[in-house]
Amino acid sequence: MIRIRVFPYQALPDPEALFTYLEEPVADRLAQGRRGRALQETLVGFSLLSQMLPEIPLTAIQKSEKGRPFLAGYPNLDFSITHCKGLVACALDQSDSPRVGLDAECLGTQTERSMELIVRRWFTPVEQKIFEASPTEETFLSLWTAKEAAAKYTGNGLTRFSEPDQAQMEIRHYRIGDIVLCAVCKKGIALPEKPELADPIL
């Protein structure tokens, strides 16, 4: 079963309160040297995971050699966290062979030039054709969030023209205000109709 929990925000919780909420040594390791908004969003993301799995200690979070986070000792759990200005989200897969990826981007952040450069550098020929047929920011973000979520799903990152086969994945987009959220999981696994709203954090 896959769940997606979202925390839309206008203001983020205070960093010191987040460190206390998650317990400082754990929060410090999870923050990975981030600062400012990125620090707060990262800690909110792990707070969402903690809400969804209150029985699992966050000390179980480790990283693979390629940097993909996972819950060591819990083979039936997988998660993915994403954030952008205005939203933090966490996807959780609880199954026999879990795997999930999540990405979010905010509309109004891309210029024609920035999209052109990313399309040229990172999009496959098929994705380039889709974008050329409808060269809007919404089309671009739909393609880009699917790529990023698929990269998080595999844990292999983005590589030019050698993307994981998205035909072998379930892909679902959600609109939350001006934010495009995309979730990716194994083919045949149902993604939720809509994300659930987070409980209050602090």
Instruction: Please give the Cα distance from 88 to 90 (Å, whole number).
Output: 7
Write the DSSP assignment of 18-76 as a string of letters.
Answer: HHHHH-HHHHHHHHTT--HHHHHHHHHHHHHHHHH-TTS-GGGEEE-TTS-EEETT-TT
Once rounded to an integer, what is the mean pLDDT over residues 12-19? 94
The pLDDT-based confidence of 164 (bands split at 50, 70, 90) is low
In the chain, what are the domains? 2-192 (3.90.470.20)
Answer whether residue 96 shows pLDDT above 60.
Answer: yes
Q: How many CB atoms lie within 10 A of CB 50?
A: 18
- The reported pTM is 0.94
Instruction: Please give the Cα distance from 90 to 100 (Å, whole number).
Output: 10
What confidence score (pLDDT) does residue 191 get?
98
Q: For 153, which DSSP code?
A: H
Closest CA relative to residue 84, chosen from 47, 124, 37: 37
The pLDDT-based confidence of 160 (bands split at 50, 70, 90) is low
pLDDT tens digit string along 42-92? 999 999 999 999 999 999 999 998 889 999 999 999 999 999 999 999 999
What confidence score (pLDDT) does residue 168 get?
85
Closest CA relative to residue 2, chosen from 176, 199, 186: 186
